[in-house]
Amino acid sequence: MNFGVIGYGYWGPNIERNLANLDGSRVVGIAEISEKARARAQKAYPAIHVTANANELLASTEIDAIAVISPVWTHFELTKAALLNGKHVFVEKPFTSNVAQAEELINLAQQKNLKLMVDHTFLFTGAVRKISQLLDEGALGNLYYYDSTRVNLGLFQHDVNVLWDLAPHDLSIMDHLLKARPEAVVATGQGHLNGHEDVAFMTLYFPEKVIAHINVNWLSPVKVRTTLIGGEKRMLVWNDLEADEKLKIYDKGVRITNREGVYDLLVSYRSGDMWAPQIEQGEALRQELAYFVECVSKDEEPFNNGCAGLRVVQMLEAASESLKKRGALVYL
Ligand X SMILES: NC(=O)c1ccc[n+]([C@@H]2O[C@H](COP(=O)([O-])OP(=O)(O)OC[C@H]3O[C@@H](n4cnc5c(N)ncnc54)[C@H](O)[C@@H]3O)[C@@H](O)[C@H]2O)c1
Residue ranges binding ligand X (CB under 6 A) = 6-12, 31-34, 37, 54, 69-72, 74, 92-93, 119, 121, 165
Q: Give CA torsion, residues 285, 121, 301, 29, to 10 deg.
A: -50
Smallest gap from residue 316 Cβ to ligand X (A): 12
327 dihedral zone (left: phi>0; alpha: psi -120 to 50; beta)? left
Smallest gap from residue 272 Cβ to ligand X (A): 35
CB of 30 within 8 A of CB of 51? Answer: yes
Closer of 248 and 305 to ligand X (Cβ): 305
Smallest gap from residue 131 Cβ to ligand X (A): 18
Q: C-alpha distances in angstroms, 199 versus 132, 187, 191, 267, 314?
A: 29, 11, 7, 37, 20
Whether a cis peptide bond, with omega within 30° of 0, leads into 94 is yes
Smallest gap from residue 207 Cβ to ligand X (A): 28
Residue nearest to ligand X (CB): 9
- Apex 329 CA angle, 328 and 332, nearest 5: 135
Nearest to 116 by CA among 141, 143, 93: 93
Closer of 172 and 314 to ligand X (Cβ): 172
Closer of 74 and 253 to ligand X (Cβ): 74
Smallest gap from residue 178 Cβ to ligand X (A): 20
Closer of 90 and 201 to ligand X (Cβ): 90
Closer of 120 and 234 to ligand X (Cβ): 120
Name every residue whose Cβ is closer than 8 Å to that of residue 61 and which is 6 or more positions away in sequence.
Answer: none
